[in-house]
Structure 1
Amino acid sequence: MADHPAADALLARSHRLGADPRNTNYAGGNTSAKGTATDPVTGGDVELMWVKGSGGDLGTLTGAGLAVLRLDRLRALTDVYPGVDREDEMVAAFDYCLHGKGGAAPSIDTAMHGLVEAPHVDHLHPDSGIALACAADGEKLTAECFGDTVVWVPWRRPGFQLGLDIAAVKEANPRAVGCVLGGHGITAWGDTSEECERNSLHIIRTAERFLAERGRPEPFGPVLDGYEPLPEAQRRERAAALAPYVRAVASQDRPQVGHFDDSETVLDFLARAEHPRLAALGTSCPDHFLRTKVRPLVLDLPPSVPTDEAVARLEELHAAYREEYAAYYAAHATPDSPAMRGADPAIVLVPGVGMFSFGKDKQTARVAGEFYVNAINVMRGAEAVSTYAPIEESEKFRIEYWALEEAKLRRMPEPKPLAGRVALVTGAGSGIGKAIARRLAAEGACVVVADLNGDNAAAVAEELGGPDKAVAVRADVTSEEQIEEAFRAAVLAFGGVDLVVNNAGISISKPLLETSAKDWDLQHDIMARGSFLVSREAARVMIAQRLGGDLVYIASKNAVFAGPNNIAYSAAKADQAHQVRLLAAELGEHGIRVNGVNPDGVVRGSGIFAGGWGAQRAAVYGVPEEKLGEFYAQRTLLKREVLPDHVAAAVFALTGGDLTHTTGLHVPVDAGVAAAFLR
């Protein structure tokens, strides 16, 4: 039914409204349209409503994201409504109002759209509207801003009763084009899709002008001495140094992916005198605190303090935060409340540096940060004309631990094996490294694609899904500075690093007497020294995170049994293989597992073989280069050719969660080379 003119107009309106963050936040709000269609059973007319369903985002809404309901049945629910104490039961009743198959599940706001007597309805969460909704005297300010064209509706949790309230307000106020919902957002309506959109934008823009014209300067107070933002380079270096420790704070209950924001909005808020008071009040709009938790954790130190002092204070504040959150849960939970989901913060604010936000994946973490920026804007607007006064904590708890929210969480698909983990793969711009990066991303990891060729790295990161899935860094593994910078980029992109694959390599095939010192040094610098540098930096991050971790070395069959004419390559691979054993012994106490993979004969898709190694080895064995893969396969026990994806599968096997008690292991991926059996 999404191809109905009313539905088409609804989608177009939704996309326009959702494209501008001033109108509503990501996945926030919902829109609807009513119209007449032909009933396929009776052939007669039937009144329908198309409304954004549960989940989804206005800016990217599709027909499949709409719920389609019969208006007569939906409005008949008022006759069986059992009252506000049992209004949650009405959500299940919406299913009996659906028209046809398919479409999205109706959301809690369906009643608001269906019960309001208007062909088109928008419910949005604009910062300007929420600022009025969360002002201490919001009702008075709404009247001052809009007169009788926009009506105040006191706070009520989203649901059937709120729909009845708004319907009654509209009927009692015929001049009204919409309403401000206390502590929540706005709702607007219209006889046409264009009029509804126009009314929504009128409310949003009028509120923006009102706040700007009526608002006092510096609503967050003066800048605190010493809390000014650090210069950009120093700020980001400080953020990278703190990031693993902050991630530890956010991940005590379960590992989280992070996002960093040092935008002017965040930095200015944290520099101002009122930020501790306002942050402690928490967010208000349900869309906000469901993603940001009730309140953030705020480091109460200036950015000039030494890093170790800041880390120690973060740990103290974290312990207090967990106690306070547990007390909040205990104070408001009832016997049938869902179990506490975790007591770690989702937002950590560091004055002079920025904001760290966390979630089950990068998108969730990023969106949580975006919502807190929305909350800062709301606080600024409310403080500019009044006093910021969010809804009571008891009401926040009712929504955070709402049975309907819990049911929505349970409907989410099971997380992939590497969800919540951040991987860094060297040499990931091509060949085996690219295959590993692709496999880890497919299994749910966020991936840092590191490669000497920055263009190749960027192309792979884009292929894997872009910034919410993967980022590219150009890194020469022989350079300490570039390795440090790669890890700084990783922790700023995703909060930390959990899984590192030492894959970068090069090979020069020469007999001993033709191998120069330069040949020797180059291969050892990249594979032996490079792996050491990468592992050292990885260990620093992993130890700070206190989440354990995985180091995987892509060594070689040649690490234990060398073929002819490759003394430098094989010796470097043997060095890597012993690093696995040494680091497994040293890092085990931190929960960091170190394992290796020993491939052989990976010709097709291999960067090393394509770069000349294939031609050299083919010459050594006296076979055409295009037959080298077949040659290697025929000398194995399984008579099978080894491909980059087979190596990637071994990396996943070592890190995917089943081999939790395995460290110091080398896994052959060579189709069976008896001479290379480990002894």
Structure 2
Amino acid sequence: MSETPQPVRDLLDRSQRLGADPTTTNYAGGNTSATGTATDPATGAEVDLLWVKGSGGDLGTLTEAGLAVLRLDRLRALVDVYPGVEREDEMVGAFDYCLHGRGGAAPSIDTAMHGLVDAAHVDHLHPDAGIAIATAADGEALTKEIFGDRVVWVPWRRPGFQLGLDIAEVARENPRAIGVVLGGHGITAWGATSEECEQRSLEIIRTARDHIDARGGTDPSVAFGAIRPGFAALPEGERHARAAALAPVLRGLASTDGRVVGHYTDTDAVLEFLARDELERLAALGTSCPDHFLRTKVRPMVLDLPADAPLDHVVARLGELHEAYREDYRAYYSRYADADTPPMRGADPAIVLVPGVGMFSFGADAKTARIAGEFYVNAINVMRGAETLSTYAPIDEREKFRIEYWALEEAKLARLPRPKPLAGRVAFVTGGGSGIGRAIAHRLAGEGAAVVVADRDADAATTVASEIGTTDAAVPVTVDVTSTDAVEAAVDAAACAFGGVDLVVNNAGLSISKPLLETTDADWDVQHDVMARGSFVVARAAARVMIAQGIGGDIVAISSKNGVFAGPNNVAYGAAKADQAHQVRLLAAELGEHGIRVNGVNPDGVVRGSGIFAGGWGAERAAVYGVEESELGAFYAQRTLLKREVLPEHVANAVFVLCSDDLSHTTGLHVPVDAGVAAAFLR
């Protein structure tokens, strides 16, 4: 394996530092580059190369595989065949013929900006402070005032080959310049070394930020006006309770054209913006930087009621505003679409602003939803800076539409991998900290669901959630399923984390094996409390959320073959499982009108990896059958028709199938996962 060239190592280090701060550049936004020489493997000659962040990559996590590598001579030769701005999209395809070697990322639309500027290192970034100047009504004058001749103003132009030519010309004609402010967009800086380029980028950002702060940028009233009576942030407890109640309603509305996952944000920056007089005026102007509005849509949906308005009034008003938003978006599409425009992608909002409560953002998965919210926080910072210095004046609506429905953007979307079967679903798994629950949580997450790992053991829940991945994939909640308050708080936490719940697995359980005469009232009560009552309490709390969402859902009970099979010395466990199993039938009959399916899984003897068996049940059952505890799994397997041991993963497989689209018309079903126990056949 060849050694990574020094310019590439420097480029990656610089990129990761710049990308680590969201106020310097947003997720997957901006790009960086370096030039250098390498040996052409075909000819052995030295060639000049450009390494540049490829399409769709993220600076903060950039690796060598995320770089596009191009022959600099070929890239610059494209200037001679450039057909003009009306056909500049064709140049992206031409970049492919400039690539050097095998592999690497696809070149982005900004490649020309890096290859045509006569500098060894180039940064193109989307810093909040820089975009504030770029979107100010008098941005050109501000650029001159703030930077003198060190930074030059470049009027708005859509990213592409012509913008690269424009910046290259500015760099040639202004030898003292260290970079440019791109109208409506961001900044670009360059340098002879990686260190010089990075320091110049940071100098532009720091100078812009200091100037904004000196003009009152730290005081939200300067940019956003006074606090509107009734629109200030609610106390934290009230705010989060209101957010949990509204999140499923909003998620259902935002899923009209396709199921989405939600994210809730109530940072000080968001709450201050939502409380102020200028909220509706600024929100209506929308975001400006292309990376922003591609994630947030052209503008957010804004609730126009005070923070303490009655909840039923708020819900009704949100429905009205949602329909108005959809009509407005369809009109926006119709105004600018032509015969070549891709089909409308959906008219639902990606950002919903609720004064006093916070911001709700939505996307195809939890990561996309979270990032959309982060982009709108960037946009708030931009508006605050622009309004502090001047007047916020983003690029016009037609230009936004040209970028939102750009053929190149459509091609980028087409390259995305096919969504996983449970993408857009939010799963809530009780007893998820060990055994069968852990296996279910992993399987559902692996199929694309965002998972809430619920367990009374906080450490176990946290461990499983961290095994699955980041908080975009799974979050832990601590809950005792026998407590109504605890269950409702856990479901509220799920709503705030992911926008709601639509796939619930009632898996929490325990077992105490004793003959009837030795079974105490406490033995009976604890098993019925956890499995029968617990399933009821969780199903009730989840059903409220699912009904509020209005997009259907699934409830799955991990029951047992003991719910139908009369085994020895487990009257309390078997009766509790029978109760749990019959709830499946009762709830399937009741919740079907809401599109909620309710099904069950009947495992048998899951010994290896089982939390119940490890907790003493295994020793008790082994004693009943007169075998060694270490042989219990094999004993159970030998009494089945298939002579196979049942593992947690087999139960998880059944849960996935029940929740998949393949069984979309199935409800009230119990699926045996017992390797064939004839006495437990369902009748």
Shorter-chain TM-score range = over 0.9
Residue of structure 2 in register with 1:244 after alignment: 248
Residue of structure 1 in register with 2:449 after alignment: 445
Cα deviation for residue 92 of structure 1 reads 0.7
Residue of structure 2 in register with 1:28 after alignment: 29
Q: Tell me which moved more, 557-566 or 316-325.
A: 557-566
Asked if the contact 1:505–1:608 (Cα under 8 Å) also holds between the matched residues in 2, the reply is: yes
**In 2, distance between residues paired with 1:665 and 1:40?**
62
Query: What amino acid is aligned across from residue 535 of structure 2 in structure 1?
Result: S
CA deviation digits over 1:70-110, x for unaligned, max 9?
Answer: 01100111111111111111101101001101111100000
**In 2, distance between residues paired with 1:521 and 1:560?**
20
Unaligned regions of 5+ residues in structure 1, if any?
none
Cα deviation for residue 13 of structure 1 reads 1.1
Residue of structure 2 in register with 1:535 after alignment: 539
Asked if the contact 1:258–1:359 (Cα under 8 Å) also holds between the matched residues in 2, the reply is: yes
Asked if the contact 2:23–2:378 (Cα under 8 Å) also holds between the matched residues in 1, the reply is: no
Cα deviation for residue 144 of structure 1 reads 0.6
Residue of structure 2 in register with 1:324 after alignment: 328
Residue of structure 1 in register with 2:632 after alignment: 628
TM (normalized to structure 1)? 0.99
Asked if 1:597 is matched to 2:598, the reply is no
Asked if 1:56 is matched to 2:54, the reply is no
CA deviation digits over 1:252-303, x for unaligned, max 9?
Answer: 1111111110000000000000011000100000010000000000000111
Cα deviation for residue 215 of structure 1 reads 4.2
Residue of structure 2 in register with 1:504 after alignment: 508
Asked if the contact 2:123–2:188 (Cα under 8 Å) also holds between the matched residues in 1, the reply is: yes
Cα deviation for residue 156 of structure 1 reads 0.5
**In 2, distance between residues paired with 1:316 and 1:422?**
26
Cα deviation for residue 44 of structure 1 reads 2.1
Counterparts of residues 640-659 of structure 1 (less than 5 Å): 640-659=644-663
Cα deviation for residue 57 of structure 1 reads 1.1
**In 1, distance between residues paired with 2:395 and 2:472?**
32
**In 2, distance between residues paired with 1:623 and 1:197?**
70
**In 2, distance between residues paired with 1:114 and 1:215?**
39
TM (normalized to structure 2)? 0.99
Counterparts of residues 121-160 of structure 1 (less than 5 Å): 121-160=122-161
Residue of structure 1 in register with 2:271 after alignment: 267
Q: Identify which of 416, 423, 433 aligns with 1:419.
A: 423
Asked if the contact 1:2–1:63 (Cα under 8 Å) also holds between the matched residues in 2, the reply is: no
Query: What amino acid is aligned across from residue 14 of structure 1 in structure 2?
Result: S
Partner-residue secondary structure (3-state), 1:291: helix
Cα deviation for residue 42 of structure 1 reads 2.4
CA-atom RMSD in angstroms:
0.9
Cα deviation for residue 486 of structure 1 reads 0.5
Q: Tell me which moved more, 188-197 or 155-164.
A: 188-197
Partner-residue secondary structure (3-state), 2:663: coil
**In 2, distance between residues paired with 1:215 and 1:610?**
62
Partner-residue secondary structure (3-state), 2:180: strand
Residue of structure 2 in register with 1:78 after alignment: 79
Residue of structure 2 in register with 1:471 after alignment: 475
CA deviation digits over 1:102-142, x for unaligned, max 9?
Answer: 11110000000001111111000000000000001111111
**In 2, distance between residues paired with 1:16 and 1:565?**
63
Give the direction of change, closer, same or farther, for the CA distance of 1:241–1:402 in structure 2 (3 Å limit).
same
Q: Tell me which moved more, 60-69 or 31-40.
A: 31-40
**In 2, distance between residues paired with 1:171 and 1:612?**
78
Query: What amino acid is aligned across from residue 55 of structure 1 in structure 2?
Result: G
Asked if the contact 1:559–1:571 (Cα under 8 Å) also holds between the matched residues in 2, the reply is: yes
Asked if the contact 2:224–2:279 (Cα under 8 Å) also holds between the matched residues in 1, the reply is: yes
Residue of structure 2 in register with 1:380 after alignment: 384
The percentage of aligned residue pairs carrying the same residue is 75
Query: What amino acid is aligned across from residue 510 of structure 1 in structure 2?
Result: K
Cα deviation for residue 540 of structure 1 reads 0.1
**In 1, distance between residues paired with 2:266 and 2:26?**
19
Q: Identify which of 599, 612, 620 aligns with 1:616.
A: 620
CA deviation digits over 1:131-158, x for unaligned, max 9?
Answer: 0000011111111111111111110000
Counterparts of residues 20-419 of structure 1 (less than 5 Å): 20-215=21-216, 217=219, 218=221, 219-419=223-423
Cα deviation for residue 466 of structure 1 reads 2.7
Cα deviation for residue 402 of structure 1 reads 0.6
Query: What amino acid is aligned across from residue 417 of structure 2 in structure 1?
Result: P
Asked if the contact 1:597–1:647 (Cα under 8 Å) also holds between the matched residues in 2, the reply is: yes
Q: Identify which of 629, 649, 663 aligns with 2:667.
A: 663
CA deviation digits over 1:438-481, x for unaligned, max 9?
Answer: 10011110110011111101100010103111111111000001
CA deviation digits over 1:30-50, x for unaligned, max 9?
Answer: 001111222222222211111
Asked if the contact 1:32–1:51 (Cα under 8 Å) also holds between the matched residues in 2, the reply is: yes
**In 2, distance between residues paired with 1:40 and 1:603?**
58
**In 1, distance between residues paired with 2:49 and 2:292?**
31
**In 2, distance between residues paired with 1:610 and 1:12?**
48
**In 1, distance between residues paired with 2:214 and 2:507?**
59
**In 1, distance between residues paired with 2:676 and 2:195?**
69
CA deviation digits over 1:471-499, x for unaligned, max 9?
Answer: 11111000001001110110111110010
Residue of structure 2 in register with 1:429 after alignment: 433
Unaligned regions of 5+ residues in structure 2, if any?
none
Query: What amino acid is aligned across from residue 454 of structure 1 in structure 2?
Result: A
Cα deviation for residue 2 of structure 1 reads 7.4
**In 1, distance between residues paired with 2:322 and 2:364?**
19
**In 1, distance between residues paired with 2:327 and 2:146?**
42
Cα deviation for residue 25 of structure 1 reads 1.0
**In 1, distance between residues paired with 2:664 and 2:130?**
50
Count of residues in correspondence between the two structures: 679
Partner-residue secondary structure (3-state), 2:319: helix
Cα deviation for residue 20 of structure 1 reads 2.0
Q: Tell me which moved more, 39-48 or 332-341.
A: 39-48
Partner-residue secondary structure (3-state), 2:556: strand
Query: What amino acid is aligned across from residue 78 of structure 1 in structure 2?
Result: V
**In 2, distance between residues paired with 1:2 and 1:189?**
26
**In 2, distance between residues paired with 1:14 and 1:182?**
23
Cα deviation for residue 562 of structure 1 reads 1.7
Asked if the contact 1:642–1:669 (Cα under 8 Å) also holds between the matched residues in 2, the reply is: yes
Partner-residue secondary structure (3-state), 1:439: helix
Asked if the contact 1:599–1:647 (Cα under 8 Å) also holds between the matched residues in 2, the reply is: yes
**In 1, distance between residues paired with 2:573 and 2:593?**
32
**In 2, distance between residues paired with 1:616 and 1:198?**
69
Runs of 4+ displaced beyond 6 Å: none
Cα deviation for residue 182 of structure 1 reads 0.3
Partner-residue secondary structure (3-state), 2:49: strand
**In 2, distance between residues paired with 1:375 and 1:190?**
28
Asked if the contact 1:2–1:64 (Cα under 8 Å) also holds between the matched residues in 2, the reply is: no
Q: Tell me which moved more, 472-481 or 1-10.
A: 1-10
Asked if 1:579 is matched to 2:583, the reply is yes
Asked if the contact 1:2–1:8 (Cα under 8 Å) also holds between the matched residues in 2, the reply is: no
Give the direction of change, closer, same or farther, for the CA distance of 1:2–1:333 in structure 2 (3 Å limit).
farther
Residue of structure 1 in register with 2:569 after alignment: 565
Partner-residue secondary structure (3-state), 2:539: helix
